[in-house]
Structure 1
Amino acid sequence: MAFTGKHIFSRKNLLKIALLAAALQVQSTDLLAQDQKTFTVDMNKPKGEINPNMWGIFFEDINMGADGGIYAELIKNRSFEFFRPMMGWEKLGKNTEASMTILNRQEEEHQANPRYLRVDTRKADTTLGLKNEGFRGMGIKEGLAYDFSVLYRQANAGIRVKLELLDSTGQVIAETAFQPTADVQNWQSAEARLVATKTDPKGSFRMWFEGKGVIDLDMISLFPEDTWKGRKKGLRADMVQALADLKPGFIRFPGGCIVEGFDLSQRFQWKKTVGAIEDRQLIINRWNTEFAHRLTPDYFQTFGLGFYEYFLMAEDIGAEPLPILNCGMACQFNTGELVPLDELDPYIQDAIDLIEFANGSVNTTWGKVRADMGHPEPFNLKLLGVGNENWGPQYVERLAVFQKILKEKHPEVEIIASAGPYSSGEYFEYLDKELRTMNVDIIDEHFYQEPKWFLNNAKRYDNYDRQGPKIFAGEYAAHSRAATHAEQRNNWEAALSEAAFLTGLERNADVVQLASYAPLFAHAEGWQWNPNLIWVDNMKVYPTPSYYVQKAYSNNTGTHILSLLDQGAAVAGQDSVYASAVLDEEHRNITLKLVNVSGQAKQIALNLNGSQKLAKSAQVEFITANDLGAFNAVGKELRVVPQQTTLPVNKKKLDLPMQPHAFYTIKITY
């Protein structure tokens, strides 16, 4: 049968269409009413105070985070102290057996850095040279100056040293030279500057030795001029800026497992990381051989980023320093080597001396070391960790010795104790009980789990004892199993689950005093572990979705916890929504954080109860991605980033249409 327009729009059919449309509208309204959730925020009754330094960062030299990363030195193996003395270097020209040799100084003052290179050109048929490959290449920028320095010794003048920067094809893109002077016995220093004429992420460095003679070389160094705050031989500015943008409340350093070491000979010893750079004793990085599938044989710790630099960086970005010291135990996943209890004194003295280094007057031994390095003012250390991911009775009995002496000598410093590497189970429960019995100041809990665990544990701290030790969520990261390669482990699924979990930390900020993601940095070509908060290459930084989640919390800490309830209950996963709220009395605003982990949109009505006169609009930042596997790939445009908008606030009510798989930060001033 053929239908005509006249037939379709007959009076009878028009009536039916109108009735059907009305019914659909009513049904749609009913569905909306059913789907809409109403949350209530009580602004007049803060639940507890928030540590202003709650959200911080955890720094460990893993994934080439320090050497080859934030420490801006471009020369690899500058002092020839690697296990293979010429690793990173290539000899150029027609070398004879005696033309380039590694020698050891025997003088006591050089025991931390005994090796040096002797270049003898007297019998060479061609010009001799050296080439350094850098850390996975050298990131060179057009127009930027690069500062060369070296320690040398030359008994008789005769050699001229030519310096070159090369691009990835071997073409010279910067050059200069210096003329060493003669001194029979003493080591001298020389400096020179090269200005690049081309940008290349895979550059290298070359030296030529022109003329006839013998010259000894050590600490061959090259830094870009654009270091953080322009400090000579300093830190990579873009990496520090990424940390500063987090506005972290603290920096935990130097780890992590490198605190413990594979064995105690390889543990981190802070006293060997301060003073003149050339006097700091290089050691192997414990991540060099840790994973058979990610061996990194050229990974060593030069300690150009030492404890002084850590303290200084913390001060620069407004963060509290939080150093972690070895407690007399090597990593229990490796050798588990122990220091006998009656031989712990040197380890405890290291802790006492560190407090003096950080806080002591310039008239004290270690306070003078700090002052001589350029910082006569104290660093005001208030927190100190004893041990990292240690567990069992051996840890408890060693911690007890530290606790007794440190509390007698420095009761003003809070001690952070390890809850071990596990978040539940026999080992965790044993430590939790023992540490609470000891009444330690802060317990450090770690969480490396799948996203589902983070969603299921948003209420973890709801019933923790408010009268006992405080909590440091010292290492957390969601490990997505849906990833196909390293960077994708930092996908939106992982970050979204972390955002949900952190609402629980924020809701319980009266007991959770500190929190930090881990690890922090990873070089795209030098990583051992993933996921990580920030990926880098030789030229740029690439914040992950997890970085932006952490930033939303650390940039909006607040001063007091506010209750945010759904029918009288905390919003912790009901209908796949998580939420928390804070009040900032200092800046006169409230901040709400809401997470929708489902694939369905949500309509949320927020009732803001309180005597404050609120602004008429709210500032909204949100992050979302249709694909839970979305991530920010190194070398490409960032896919998962925050977006901004505003929402009206009408009579202390705010309507929030939540997109699927989305995290919202809402700030309202008053």
Structure 2
Amino acid sequence: MPRTARTGWRAGLTATALLTAAALVPAPAHAEDVTDYAITVDPSARGAAIDDTMYGVFFEDINRAADGGLYAELVQNRSFEYSTADNGAYTPLTSWTAGGTAQVVNDSGRLNARNRNYLSLGAGSSVTNAGYNTGIRVEQGKKYDFSVWARAESGSTLTVSLKDTAGSLATARRIAVEGGWTKYKATFTATRTSNRGRLAVATAHDAALDEVSLFPRDTYKNQPNGLRKDLAEKIAALQPGFVRFPGGCLVNTGSMEDYSEASGWQRRRSYQWKDTVGPVEERATNANFWGYNQSYGLGYYEYFRFSEDIGAMPLPVVPALVTGCGQNKATEDDALLQRHVQDTLDLIEFANGPATSKWGKVRAAMGHPKPFHLTHIGVGNEENLPREFFARFEKFRAAIKAKYPGITVISNSGPDDAGAIFDTAWQLNREGGVDMVDEHYYNSPDWFLRHNDRYDSYDRTGPKVFLGEYASQGNAWRNGLAEAAFMTGLERNADVVKLASYAPLLANEDYVQWRPDMIWFNNRASWNSANYEVQKLFMTNVGDRVIPSKATTTPDVSGPITGAVGLSTWATSAAYDDVKVTSADGSTLLSDDFSGGAAQWRHSGAGDWSVQDGQYVQTDTAAENTMVTAGDPAWRDYDLRVKATKKSGKEGFLVAFGVKDTGNYYWWNLGGWNNTQSAVEQAVDGGKSTLLTKAGSIETGRAYDIRIEVRGRQVTLFLDGQEWGRFTDDKPAEPFRQVVTRDARTGDLIVKVVNAQPAEARTAVDLGGTRVASTARVTTLAADQDAVNTETDAPVTPVTSTFRGVAPKFTYTFPANSVTFLRIKQG
């Protein structure tokens, strides 16, 4: 249904004029019948039931989310296990400064078989730890618990102190040490607040140290080996229905071999839960996929305990012995696969078994005799080899179902929202009768605005969807708005989408491997992103059932695809030649064989472009997105032809069209994703999404003939004279979205509306005759689309108010760039 009243005169305006007009034209004095949108609710229809576990959180040890983050340990590299296997810049003394004689030793005198390194200190020597970020954070009057495993001759003494450049931060402690490896403890009370503290341990005699630790006494719920309180409280405030752990790429990357004495307890091992339980000093450290060391101090027991503490369902994910995240390897070692299957069965026993069972006894010894009530488990993560993955997944599922038939076993659909891997994985999952499929995607805000209806057409009788990782590409308010619009579609399809979690959860601002992230922090503070505020608003106002509703839409004024053309590379050297652009009527718009140089091309700055032997060549194999462009941004309805040759590097080459500027374009990415697939991607305001994808690679040294035909909003692509694919980009980025749910506990109708445009939306709301109270409790998030929450400023913050004009039919004006929830009591 078109927008009412004003639609006629607005329909012919450009997008800019449309928004400007909407902002400038005031509502008439008697404008009750003049509205921009209409929402119609049908209370007689039965919508999808929404599970209590609909929304949850996804935790991965990325961006220092665990050590230096949620895990409250303040000492970095506490067991001297850092290695070049973790990071090329690491040594066993990374984060430590030694005074006097200090040497990291790995010999038979070690603390235990897994904690192999220890520090040998000479008499009169000391070591000082710098912690994370700017240093160790302590607050005046608060207590901090120190511990160390030490070995020394009888009569030896350790002096332990907290200090910064201004002096002491607490009274020093003297610890008498004698004999073999023993754990010693002390407590500090901070006399000053500092963000730059250092922990120093000095010895008057020869001594050996390991597991040097400092914890704030005030951890979340005062748990031992606990969590940083402010971060845990922010997660708890979301009221998540589940916690997915221990990660995504972290799960199924690294070596699939076992630890052994012969390998020196080799690192870069895939994440295995048994490495992470038991006494912390006996847990094996490991190389983190994201480029640092993971201590496993935050392990499976702590994940289960945290889930229980916040009332969330635990949802662990185990490796399926098929790598993903840009790696393509599947184990052929059946004995190793069976061992992992048994490890998964043991994990379920650890979580749910009685305290008398083998692994239930381990849980009980750690302090939790009662079961953790595990009901769901994921197998694998973003595998690029769907058939190899599914063959192994079936072995896990068969074993789990045979012993624990009540467990929901979750499969996945690879790393993208569409394409050959996705389609094959879903076909196998459907044919195999899988319980649930984990989908992942990170796309532009524009993609999320366009795909609100993604799950409308999913098979209602097939596997359910676990949307385990999703986010639009940024932490500005425009990203939060787009995600909110998409979430209304998730709720409308709650019979298909049973679980959903934004990802990633945490980012230490000084150790970032991935953006965007939900919660940001440093050693002294934490703050909510705009995306967090959206998630919290939805997660704390879910409701129990969808009440079917419809809304009018915004006129589509997108017009044909227009733009210049471009050439680019990504971690590759490539050569281009014979570029020709002709209009639909056959006239030549651009012709360049580079015999006279490259004067027609504009270079954005990245990469090293030059004309060599009559070709335009980019030679920097480390540079990413080296785009050069030519032509007019107003071009439309044209053919682009070019010859491209990969010379060296990781990927293929990229040919762009519809180029408006550096952040808005389309490109055909041939040989992307480490030269494993090709795709058409669209960039909108810098965020990219995939429109079409196929598996395949590009050969080095071979010249490819490329032709791209643009007609209106339809694009056809030809490779070496053969049609490679086509698409029509005609799906509007609808800025006005809504969903209505009912909360059985309170009796509220919850009207949830997203207005992702810089103009207010006066809206007629028809509740279908439902008797309601005259007031509504309103929560609004509204800000400029470019607004970003920081440590010192939070422009995206919820505002609560009361609206006193509710009736079975009423009008409400939703602010520009806003997410609004109205909780209305039914009469």
> What TM-score, normalized by structure 2, do the two folds share?
0.71
Matched-pair contact (CA < 8 Å) for 1:43–1:583: no
In structure 2, what is the Cα distance between the partners aligned to 1:100 and 1:107? 16
Find 1:363's aligned residue among 356, 360, 371: 356
Equivalent AA in structure 2 for residue 633 of structure 1:
T
Find 2:435's aligned residue among 441, 446, 450: 441
Residue 552 (structure 1) aligned with residue 537 (structure 2): yes
Matched-pair contact (CA < 8 Å) for 2:450–2:733: no
**SS of equivalent to 1:666:** strand
In structure 2, what is the Cα distance between the partners aligned to 1:35 and 1:574? 21
Distance 1:458 1:338, change over 3 A: same
Equivalent AA in structure 1 for residue 279 of structure 2:
A
Equivalent AA in structure 2 for residue 564 of structure 1:
S
Gaps of 5+ in 1: 1-24, 122-126, 289-298, 480-488
Equivalent AA in structure 2 for residue 458 of structure 1:
N
Cα distance, 1:344 vs structure 2: 1.2
The residue aligned with 2:426 is 432
The residue aligned with 1:394 is 388
Equivalent AA in structure 2 for residue 176 of structure 1:
A
Distance 1:27 1:399, change over 3 A: closer
Cα distance, 1:237 vs structure 2: 0.6
**SS of equivalent to 2:154:** coil
The residue aligned with 1:11 is none
Find 2:749's aligned residue among 590, 601, 624: 590
The residue aligned with 1:79 is 79
Residue 250 (structure 1) aligned with residue 242 (structure 2): yes
Distance 1:339 1:278, change over 3 A: farther
Paired residues, number: 606
The residue aligned with 2:788 is 631
Equivalent AA in structure 1 for residue 778 of structure 2:
V
Cα distance, 1:660 vs structure 2: 1.1
Residues 79-228 of structure 1 correspond to what in structure 2 (within 5 A)? 79-83=79-83, 84-92=91-99, 95=100, 99-106=101-108, 110-121=112-123, 127-136=124-133, 137-157=135-155, 159-167=156-164, 169-183=165-179, 186-209=180-203, 211=204, 213-228=205-220
Find 1:345's aligned residue among 332, 338, 342: 338
Residue 240 (structure 1) aligned with residue 237 (structure 2): no
Cα distance, 1:33 vs structure 2: 3.7
In structure 2, what is the Cα distance between the partners aligned to 1:82 and 1:35? 63
Matched-pair contact (CA < 8 Å) for 2:762–2:813: yes
Cα distance, 1:153 vs structure 2: 1.4
**SS of equivalent to 1:501:** helix
Residue 315 (structure 1) aligned with residue 317 (structure 2): no
Equivalent AA in structure 2 for residue 351 of structure 1:
T
The residue aligned with 2:404 is 410
Distance 1:171 1:236, change over 3 A: same
Matched-pair contact (CA < 8 Å) for 1:254–1:323: yes
Matched-pair contact (CA < 8 Å) for 1:314–1:320: yes
In structure 1, what is the Cα distance between the partners aligned to 2:188 and 2:177? 20
Gaps of 5+ in 2: 1-24, 84-90, 258-268, 555-730
In structure 2, what is the Cα distance between the partners aligned to 1:469 and 1:315? 27
In structure 2, what is the Cα distance between the partners aligned to 1:630 and 1:69? 25
The residue aligned with 2:613 is none
Distance 1:155 1:337, change over 3 A: farther
Residue 605 (structure 1) aligned with residue 743 (structure 2): no
In structure 1, what is the Cα distance between the partners aligned to 2:140 and 2:382? 44
The residue aligned with 2:489 is 504
The residue aligned with 2:773 is 615
Matched-pair contact (CA < 8 Å) for 1:49–1:560: yes
Find 1:423's aligned residue among 398, 402, 417: 417
Q: What is the root-mean-square deviation in Å for CA atoms of aligned residues?
A: 2.2
Distance 1:255 1:226, change over 3 A: same
Find 1:260's aligned residue among 252, 255, 260: 252
Cα distance, 1:102 vs structure 2: 2.2
Residues 448-459 of structure 1 correspond to what in structure 2 (within 5 A)? 448-459=442-453
Residue 667 (structure 1) aligned with residue 823 (structure 2): yes
Cα distance, 1:37 vs structure 2: 2.2
1:465-500 CA distances to partner (integer Å, 9 max, x unpaired)?
111111011101101xxxxxxxxx300011100000
1:343-400 CA distances to partner (integer Å, 9 max, x unpaired)?
4101101110011001111111001111111111111100000001113211111112
In structure 1, what is the Cα distance between the partners aligned to 2:485 and 2:732? 8
Matched-pair contact (CA < 8 Å) for 2:56–2:501: yes
In structure 2, what is the Cα distance between the partners aligned to 1:478 and 1:575? 16
Cα distance, 1:190 vs structure 2: 1.1
Cα distance, 1:205 vs structure 2: 1.4
Equivalent AA in structure 2 for residue 495 of structure 1:
G
The residue aligned with 1:5 is none
Residues 273-312 of structure 1 correspond to what in structure 2 (within 5 A)? 273-288=276-291, 299-312=292-305
In structure 1, what is the Cα distance between the partners aligned to 2:65 and 2:514? 11
Equivalent AA in structure 1 for residue 445 of structure 2:
P
**SS of equivalent to 1:434:** helix
Matched-pair contact (CA < 8 Å) for 2:476–2:786: yes
1:299-324 CA distances to partner (integer Å, 9 max, x unpaired)?
21111110000000000001000000
**SS of equivalent to 2:470:** strand
In structure 1, what is the Cα distance between the partners aligned to 2:195 and 2:47? 51
**Percent identity for Structure 1 against Structure 2:** 37
Structure with a larger share of its residues in helix: 1
Matched-pair contact (CA < 8 Å) for 1:263–1:334: no
In structure 2, what is the Cα distance between the partners aligned to 1:39 and 1:427? 38
In structure 1, what is the Cα distance between the partners aligned to 2:241 and 2:32? 42
In structure 1, what is the Cα distance between the partners aligned to 2:194 and 2:553? 59
Matched-pair contact (CA < 8 Å) for 1:624–1:663: yes
The residue aligned with 2:601 is none
Matched-pair contact (CA < 8 Å) for 2:485–2:735: no
> What TM-score, normalized by structure 1, do the two folds share?
0.87
1:206-237 CA distances to partner (integer Å, 9 max, x unpaired)?
1222x3x2211111100111111112331101
In structure 2, what is the Cα distance between the partners aligned to 1:200 and 1:334? 43
The residue aligned with 1:3 is none
Distance 1:218 1:35, change over 3 A: same
Cα distance, 1:30 vs structure 2: 8.4
Matched-pair contact (CA < 8 Å) for 1:592–1:665: yes
In structure 1, what is the Cα distance between the partners aligned to 2:760 and 2:506? 34
Distance 1:567 1:534, change over 3 A: closer
Distance 1:108 1:387, change over 3 A: farther
In structure 2, what is the Cα distance between the partners aligned to 1:401 and 1:51? 29
Q: Say which structure, 1 or 2, has more relative contact order (CA 8 Å, 6+ apart).
A: 1
Cα distance, 1:106 vs structure 2: 3.0
Distance 1:41 1:151, change over 3 A: same
Distance 1:591 1:238, change over 3 A: same
In structure 1, what is the Cα distance between the partners aligned to 2:819 and 2:60? 28
Matched-pair contact (CA < 8 Å) for 1:263–1:336: no
Matched-pair contact (CA < 8 Å) for 1:79–1:113: yes
**SS of equivalent to 2:126:** strand
The residue aligned with 2:583 is none
The residue aligned with 1:526 is 511
